[in-house]
Structure 1
């Protein structure tokens, strides 16, 4: 049950989600279960970036694309370990936004929070376009934009019902992806070793070096491929956010953090290794749909009829999963920002089932706007700007995680550090590796003419958000001052994380009743 302060009581003894004000936030009776967190953790990040986008990395770097996936995986793993330590110490639905507020200040939290919300709204719009195109191919009696709107309507209904409903839907969609990839890895490995009956027969490991060498386009192509890979991995943090609304937050956070490395190694690195072994890398083209993707190319090698249709079904399930998780992440971030006065107050309000209704609605509206802009103004470049301007969000998030963790550890005593339930080893080395890697990727993107537009678009979007911060800061201070004045015996004080209402030293304590 919930106490008067909003804290949920239970028997697990696990830390409860924090709303950022020192109180604990009630997230509703329908919490996520362990199996939900497990499947969100396993399959949450597997989207079209894996099933289609991996072909673009291979076409760029050749067989050495496997190195790009390993480097990107290391960066994501280190960032998740740092995030996991902070989350285990203080579970928060706002995740890294809340930790940025505590350790870096309001300005940092405001910026990274809005960028993250903007990213997922862009993903909602993009995947509604992709999913709509797939559905129109199957059922041409409706245009793709109409199918996209239907998909968005479906997921707003799911997310408004309860967090448990979100988790149940995500569980089954993620299960489809996980089963599909495991089957792909098994039969792909059989084909690579020559154990699958084909016309040519024999092992295919020669594809790793026989078509211009293992690294045919040089080190630069591998490094530039890392930039693409990082965005494919982005979304691992959703499992940590979801764990804060689970039956046992601490267990869910540990589970999401400790398994990230083998998830990356198995599903991403393993899939890419199968692809570059089975199919000559120079036979792959930049893919734009399931039919032209690398997974379809491997299935064709197996001699399975309807390979493109099979992959379309898997990609469609992936699109649905990402839309579901994206709406969840966007709405929870918007709600968490509202609790800190970074967003409209009404978006923080949760219904009896713990769902921030207005935050879900506004996040969906953002996706609808992006979808309609793509349909109404296809040649205006507006939709392209929306997608390009989210290009650096993953890097910004990882940088803020590394800096927040560094500042947290710097202020902790030796006793507090030794008492940590989860602890990032070799501190501050992981922080340095993450920060230097972020800088290196940005430099590579600036040098590469193909990705330079993403950098500048992201800078413009960030500058716009930052330009509004003085107004938000002034409003936040006014609200805090109003609360202090209403209390009468309190005053407004500045603290590292922002402003707080504190007891005035010049006032007599209120008489006890």
Structure 2
């Protein structure tokens, strides 16, 4: 089998360590936390923190599995390239196109909620208009240069991180000193006074694991950046080791503060729970600030998603699994055609926002969760094959997955259980029907491609 070299397209290594760390944080700290967490709170109540702790452990194993391969072989196209090389052409084809599909749907989900945040200030602007403006602006940023993307994503992520840290500090002041609450400390009673810490029992925590895992989607962007990192053997391990515990801190810490300030059972599912809380405690200025932050979060995640989609199409084109047009770079090393096509497909989200703006996010989230689970499962399966080959070749890896192979098998079993849980949730059940149909389409697409490549060239 001929394995392409992802460097042959002259893609440029312009991402520094600070870019890579913030890209991973930016991809994972977004709509799932700022917007989708309201739905999870309804399922699990204060025990939502347990859901994120469990999910965080599994994500750590998945990230280390990807990092093991990325450090040894830093290429653009990430695990699609690894699947292609260590498993076969069909897994590489399916892995790459599924990842692209995944982030197309994630992009749509982000665009779908942009209008909700804008409507907080300007309720008369249609949601689809806000989505379209966001799409055009972020696409323009991604077409400039990878450094431009890196800088924008760095500052997008910085805003989110500082906002969460500030919110935690501000929330602790409300809890302990009653700041903004008439000087009356709120305390921690809301964590157990409204039906207990487990108001819906263990079953509620189990159901909430689906949305918790969706929230973590995006951390694997570190693998995508490996081909454009200045020093991948140093920056990738640093980013992976630091980003997981930071995400857990931000999710668990921020949500604990939120649930202590405001009763979980009075929290609505419309808009961000962050904004709702500060509005209810009588601090409208903070609510306006946080609404700006959650809007930035949506833009950040869409920025990361479009970047990863462009690079994945680029990697697929080098493998021969996508049209060669997508392997062409401009003078700045940007795969323009791949980015424009990915951006164009997400225009469908603008249409969905026009047709059914109230439920579009939930629909897209369900489909994206299925695609994310397929991606993560492929990372783990490919890592098992990668490790077997490296051990046979007597290669000593510098960055290893802890508790291998136990951690790989436990993570795969957990991902399988998420599919079972999704079958128990009516609004997500339909995505389980979409997944087999989508995989069948990919299989047919691969067979068509393979047949065309095997046909002799005819001269007329």
TM-score higher than 0.5: yes
**Structure 1 residue ranges, 4+ long, deviating more than 6 angstroms after superposition:** 381-385
Q: Would the aligned equivalents of 2:7 and 2:76 in 1 still touch at CA under 8 Å?
A: no
Does residue 394 of structure 1 match 2:372? yes
Change (3 A) 1:68 1:390: same
2:155 matched residue in structure 1: 172
Does residue 365 of structure 1 match 2:344? yes
Task: Compute the displacement of 1:307 (Å).
Answer: 4.1
CA distance in 2 between counterparts of 1:222 and 1:230 reads: 12
| Correspondence list, 1:93-492, <5 A | 93-135=76-118, 138=121, 143-194=126-177, 196=179, 198-199=181-182, 201-202=184-185, 204-285=187-268, 287-289=269-271, 293-300=272-279, 303-375=282-354, 377-378=355-356, 388-413=366-391, 416-417=394-395, 419-478=396-455
Task: Compute the displacement of 1:326 (Å).
Answer: 0.9
Task: Compute the displacement of 1:107 (Å).
Answer: 1.3
What count of residue pairs does the alignment treat as equivalent?
455
1:121 is paired with a residue whose SS is helix
1:80 matched residue in structure 2: 63
Per-residue CA distance 1:112-163 (angstroms, 9 max, x = gap): 2112111212222332232245446645786433332222121221111111
Q: Would the aligned equivalents of 1:391 and 1:455 in 2 still touch at CA under 8 Å?
A: no
Per-residue CA distance 1:23-69 (angstroms, 9 max, x = gap): 63454457122322232233331112101211211111111111111
Instruction: State TM-score, norm by structure 2.
Output: 0.91
CA distance in 1 between counterparts of 2:70 and 2:39 reads: 34
1:58 matched residue in structure 2: 41
Aligned to 1:34, which of 5, 17, 20?
17
Q: Would the aligned equivalents of 1:241 and 1:329 in 2 still touch at CA under 8 Å?
A: yes
Per-residue CA distance 1:382-428 (angstroms, 9 max, x = gap): 998665433301111111111111111122237745x2110112110
Instruction: State TM-score, norm by structure 1.
Output: 0.82
Q: Would the aligned equivalents of 1:373 and 1:383 in 2 still touch at CA under 8 Å?
A: no
Change (3 A) 1:400 1:295: same
Task: Compute the displacement of 1:288 (Å).
Answer: 2.8
Change (3 A) 1:236 1:437: same
CA distance in 2 between counterparts of 1:40 and 1:245 reads: 12
CA distance in 2 between counterparts of 1:303 and 1:382 reads: 30
- Alignment RMSD (CA, Å): 2.5
Per-residue CA distance 1:159-208 (angstroms, 9 max, x = gap): 11111111111111111111101101111123233463633623522222
By percentage of residues, which structure has more helix?
A: 2
Change (3 A) 1:136 1:288: closer
Task: Compute the displacement of 1:451 (Å).
Answer: 2.3
Query: Which has the higher relative contact order, 1 or 2, with Cα contacts under 8 A spaced 6 or more apart?
Result: 2
Q: Would the aligned equivalents of 1:31 and 1:245 in 2 still touch at CA under 8 Å?
A: yes
Change (3 A) 1:316 1:57: same
Task: Compute the displacement of 1:436 (Å).
Answer: 0.5
Change (3 A) 1:401 1:254: same
In structure 1, runs of 5+ residues without a counterpart are: 1-18, 483-513
CA distance in 2 between counterparts of 1:469 and 1:78 reads: 30
CA distance in 1 between counterparts of 2:174 and 2:332 reads: 49
Q: Would the aligned equivalents of 1:30 and 1:162 in 2 still touch at CA under 8 Å?
A: no
Q: Would the aligned equivalents of 1:45 and 1:235 in 2 still touch at CA under 8 Å?
A: yes
CA distance in 1 between counterparts of 2:281 and 2:394 reads: 56
Structure 1 stretch 89-98 or stretch 195-204: which is displaced more? 195-204
